[in-house]
Amino acid sequence: MTTSAETVIHVVRHGEVFNPERVLYGRLPGFHLSELGREMAELTADYLADRDVTEVISSPLERAQETATPIAQRHGLPLRIDRRIIESENQFEGVRVGGLDGAIRSPKNWHLLINPFRPSWGEPYPQIATRMMAALDSARLLAAGHEAVMVSHQLPVWTLRRHLEGKRLWHDPRQRECTLASVTSVRYRGEEIVDLTYAEPAGALLPMAQPGAGA
């Protein structure tokens, strides 16, 4: 039976990561929030504290779980893990990408850069959109008539948003509106998306851009 109840899914990007070597960490384990990142997570938890949240879902990576934990604690909820909202695959994991010594300057890596529209160095954009949409739909069903939080990563969140807005999926990474600990909220009426909003609860703590540091 179709329902007209409103459901909201808040899609959160994790906070700042401790990454002094400025490598692209991708799906690598062992990358945790920095102290600043933990402050960001707390501010985002404060922002969502008065919402009717009944489900908190996280990527399996440490930085996402550490961002989701204070949100779940505010609402007295367990933390669900959904691998579909994990960071995208990337062939440059574990190395510095930008800068004078960045991996993209090495001729041995140029074969990975031949098709930015796919992209050729990592998981195809349509594949990211498909798995993120599946996770979003699952969250909508779990929290029907209430609200849910999904904590993911910059590229998956931004790809999901572009898909929802009917825009082409390939894009300039410098133009993403998806800062650290930001919240992209998708409002449903029944199964229909009726609104999409964006907020930066930790905006005052944002550091200067750090190219090649992962997402």
The CA-atom distances, in angstroms, between 201 and each of 42, 49, 62, 180 are 9, 12, 21, 9
Kindly write down the DSSP assignment for every residue of 34-94, as one continuous string.
-HHHHHHHHHHHHHHTTS-EEEEEE-SSHHHHHHHHHHHHHHT-PEEE-GGGSPPPBTTTT
At residue 209, the pLDDT reads 45
At residue 3, the pLDDT reads 59
Question: Domain extents for the chain?
Answer: 6-20+32-87+123-205
Report yes or no on whether pTM surpasses 0.75.
yes
Q: What homologous superfamily is domain 6-20+32-87+123-205 in, according to CATH?
A: Phosphoglycerate mutase-like (3.40.50.1240)
The Cα 203–Cα 28 span in angstroms is 26
Q: Which of 138, 139, 140, 182 is nearest to 158 (CA)?
A: 182
Q: Which of 75, 71, 63, 72 is nearest to 36 (CA)?
A: 63
At residue 110, the pLDDT reads 80
The Cα 185–Cα 143 span in angstroms is 14
- Strands 147-152 and 6-13 turn out to be parallel
* 3-state DSSP assignment of residue 167: coil
- Mean pLDDT per 10-residue interval, the chain, length 215 residues: 81 97 94 98 98 98 98 98 96 83 79 85 96 98 98 98 96 93 98 97 80 49
- Amino acid identity at 70: P
